Amino acid sequence: MSAAELAALLATARALSEAVTYDDSGKAGRGGNGGLLSRETIRKNDELKIALSRFEAAEVPIKVEGDRK
């Protein structure tokens, strides 16, 4: 996977996670669908958020295709 493909994957995953959170809770008291998501979907979304945060905060760079290190 190239660095550009990885960046696109991360951006898409983050956008999906934010959309799920918005549908469930809204933002600043507005919007959202007030619980039309299953608890399982919300749990998986929370797991995705944690995984993305850990990945983005990783001190050890992850080698991707095209890296010369």
In this prediction, residue 6 carries a pLDDT of 85
Instruction: Kindly list the domain boundaries of the chain, sorted by start residue.
Output: 3-57
45 residue type, one letter: N
Sign, CA torsion 33/38/43/49: negative
User: For residue 64, is pLDDT > 70?
Assistant: no
18-23, Cβ contacts within 8 angstroms, sequence gap of 24 or more: 20/45, 21/45, 21/49
Q: Which residue has the higher pLDDT, 64 or 31?
A: 31
Secondary structure E strands in 1-69: none
pTM for the model: 0.62
Distance (Å, whole) CA 14 – CA 38: 19
User: For residue 60, is pLDDT > 60?
Assistant: no
Residue range 36-59: average pLDDT? 83
CB 2 within 8 A of CB 65: yes
Residue range 10-37: average pLDDT? 81
